Structure 1
Amino acid sequence: MLDWNTYRRQLIAGVGEIGKLSPETVKGYATLSGAGARTAHLDAKTRELIALAVAISLRCDGCITVHAAEAKKHGASEGELAEALGTAISVNAGAALVYSTRAHEAFKEA
């Protein structure tokens, strides 16, 4: 099992190193990452739960460790986490079903 706290610290250090090599890239990412917070339509907890659901869909461990910590920091409960992850699971299953129709169509046309 992954030690998520150690991994998160390593990831942050690694991003810092990339920032020294390519500061504009990391600056651009930080700008993009913070843009949603400026609209104030969703609270921070909700944004972090959405980010976690997306992280599951993208299979990004770095995103998972960062957004899990941020969701917890912003007061997300395990029940809210479970609901967000359940949504990710259902969307991924739905996407698999939708893309299955594409594979079936390609197969029929081959």
Structure 2
Amino acid sequence: MSGQYHQIVRDITGKLREFHQEIPDTAQAFTAMAKATHGDGALSKKQKELMAMAIAIAARCEGCLGFHAQACVKLGVTRAEFLEMIQVAVYMGGGPSMMTSAEALMAYEEYGGEKVSE
């Protein structure tokens, strides 16, 4: 089922496609950097994605939440891992990051991440 974060990701993806046409050097450089950064290395893809989500929360980047939540779910991030990452993000970002963390958890759940057992 599509929701708020699915729509945000679709909208941003559309604009990023425009960037590839209108500012191709910048868009291609960013894409190359993202690909180089997200592979397994000393840190796993999963660890890197959790770091990216923590930074998105601390920076309060709403547009980033959907992309990174989707990636976290695809990489098998558990709810416990996601919540522990939120703790670090809130520690680094304070009260505003606590509010953004709630949005991040909504995005994680929207993409199929574990929900609280009822």
TM-score calculated relative to the size of structure 2: 0.72
Whose Rg is larger?
1
Instruction: Give the 4+ runs in structure 1 shifted more than 6 A.
Output: none
- Distance in 1 (CA, whole Å) between partners of 2:31 and 2:60 is 21
| Residue equivalent to 1:17 | 18
Amino acid of the structure 2 residue aligned with 1:41: A
- Distance in 2 (CA, whole Å) between partners of 1:26 and 1:39 is 23
* RMSD of Structure 2 on Structure 1 (CA): 1.5
- Distance in 2 (CA, whole Å) between partners of 1:39 and 1:77 is 19
Amino acid of the structure 1 residue aligned with 2:6: N
2:61 pairs with 1:60? yes
Where does 1:6-45 land on structure 2 (aligned, <5 Å)? 6-38=7-39, 40-45=41-46
Instruction: Give the 3-state SS of the residue equivalent to 1:41 in structure 2.
Output: coil
- Distance in 2 (CA, whole Å) between partners of 1:80 and 1:39 is 18
Structure with larger RCO (C-alpha < 8 A, sep 6+): 2
Larger helix proportion of the pair: 1
How many pairs does the alignment contain? 92
| Residue equivalent to 1:105 | none
Name whichever of 72-81 and 36-45 sits farther off.
36-45
Q: Which runs of 5 or more residues in structure 1 are unaligned?
A: 94-110
TM-score calculated relative to the size of structure 1: 0.77
